[in-house]
Structure 1
Amino acid sequence: MNSETHITGPVDLGEFIEGFLPDDEPLLLARRRAEELGCAAVSGAAGAALSLLAATLQARAVVEIGTGAGVSALCLLRGMAADGVLTSIDLEPEFHRGARRTLLAAGFAPSRMRLIMGRALDVLPRLTSGGYDMVFADAAKLEYPSYFDQGVQLLRPGGVIVFHDVLAGGRVGDPALRDPEVLALREVARAMRDDELLTPAILPIGSGLLAAAVRRA
């Protein structure tokens, strides 16, 4: 018997996936700022997926619903075209200040960001219909169905809409659970799945990304 034979245990795939692209210093600073402000942030894997989607689209115009401390904003901008502009909406002035510091510290010019303070459902109708490459929502789950209705209208053909935290820690898959947030998540997933103009998928990354692309004519 080979004395150097090693017995290994099961691999933690979640840990492997999250550690595939370790956070660099700007992201670490952004996560610390998010913790200080008490706002949630996308995981490393979810952030990498957002960068990938933005890069694949060569996105020049992206809408973010829920600015937080700028973690997802940083990931989106890193994938966007060099002249792309991120429009990010949040009610909290502290979050906007934190996100602006995050993005400036990461080397992005002020012209690359448009931070709008307000309720998303009031702001979205004022944005240009069909003028955006991507919409990312990470805010009030109860409003996800309304974000979907308004967000799809903002996308050009080929554009992508993404919702964060749609698995809700596994709660969304439990038919016995009927709380308002879970019902809202199921509603937006069903609406996206049943829309014949969209190509949808659930990506089991981080806490779950629900995404769809607008079909080209």
Structure 2
Amino acid sequence: MGERWQAVDDYIAEKLFGDDDVLAATLANNAAQGLPPIDVSPAQGKMLFLFAQIAGARRILEIGTLGGYSTIWLARALPADGELVTLELEPHHAEVARANLQQAGVSDKVDIRVGPASDSLAAITGEAPFDFVFIDADKQSNAHYVAEAIRLGRPGTTIIVDNVVREGGVLEADSDDERIVGTRALFDMLSAESRLDATAVQTVGVKKWDGFVVARVR
């Protein structure tokens, strides 16, 4: 089944957006620099691009930069005067991302802030609200990250959280996997959060069986 999922993703990419030398070079550089291959898929990257445009985003917050693959997709969705703030724990990942963003021609729109995301988020005060937030970092902290996205957003802000199905692991109430525990805590938080409208969508493809949350601040 996995081969079919891969083939369908390849078909979607071929028909709907084709090859992209810049994004291919980004993934190649990430691999060469030893980054883990956990970027969003091309189809998911295009989805983020479209979601950000649909939301009319002028300021985007990304939690979890890695090598900047999803960052490039999101930066491309911004208007000429738009801004993207992206948070990355690992200095090496941030260094690779800077090079990739420069090569992609979007570095002037992106502010990479290095350090624990919780610290970086707490330091954001007095800035304009974010219109769109993409969360793809340590799953243990997802509920906290969403709470911070609400604080830093506005009514109408769109929030996307990646990797929330975990091949069905989200159903395992007795799991000792911190990523699953954190994901279940996220769903508990969403179910009780009156400031959000939210849903989750399962996905299959090159990233196997997973899914994402889509939420909107009321």
- Same fold by TM-score greater than 0.5: yes
Number of equivalences:
204
**Number of the residue aligned with 1:20:** 12
The alpha-carbon distance between structure 1 residues 100 and 84, as it changes in their structure 2 partners (threshold 3 A), is: same
Q: Which has the higher contact order (CA 8 A, sep 6+)?
A: 2
Contact 2:35 2:67 in 1 (8 A): no
Mean Cα deviation higher: 201-210 or 47-56: 201-210
**Could you tell me how far apart the structure 1 residues matched to 2:19 and 2:169 are?**
28
Contact 1:34 1:41 in 2 (8 A): no
**Could you tell me how far apart the structure 2 residues matched to 1:68 and 1:23 are?**
21
Measured after TM superposition, the shift of residue 146 of structure 1 is 1.4
**Number of the residue aligned with 2:215:** 212
1:135 maps to a residue whose letter is V
Measured after TM superposition, the shift of residue 29 of structure 1 is 1.2
Measured after TM superposition, the shift of residue 54 of structure 1 is 0.8
Calculate percent identity across the aligned residue pairs: 29
The alpha-carbon distance between structure 1 residues 210 and 44, as it changes in their structure 2 partners (threshold 3 A), is: same
1:116 aligns with 2:108: no
**Number of the residue aligned with 2:161:** 163
Unaligned runs of 5+ in 2: none
Measured after TM superposition, the shift of residue 190 of structure 1 is 2.5
2:28 maps to a residue whose letter is R
1:111 maps to a residue whose letter is D
CA RMSD across the alignment: 2.1
**Could you tell me how far apart the structure 1 residues matched to 2:80 and 2:11 are?**
27
Contact 1:74 1:103 in 2 (8 A): yes
Contact 1:65 1:137 in 2 (8 A): yes
The alpha-carbon distance between structure 1 residues 200 and 15, as it changes in their structure 2 partners (threshold 3 A), is: farther
Mean Cα deviation higher: 110-119 or 12-21: 12-21
The alpha-carbon distance between structure 1 residues 18 and 194, as it changes in their structure 2 partners (threshold 3 A), is: farther
The alpha-carbon distance between structure 1 residues 128 and 137, as it changes in their structure 2 partners (threshold 3 A), is: same
**Number of the residue aligned with 1:8:** none
Contact 2:86 2:110 in 1 (8 A): yes
**Number of the residue aligned with 1:180:** 178
Deviation above 6 Å: which 4+ runs of structure 1?
Answer: none
Measured after TM superposition, the shift of residue 178 of structure 1 is 4.5
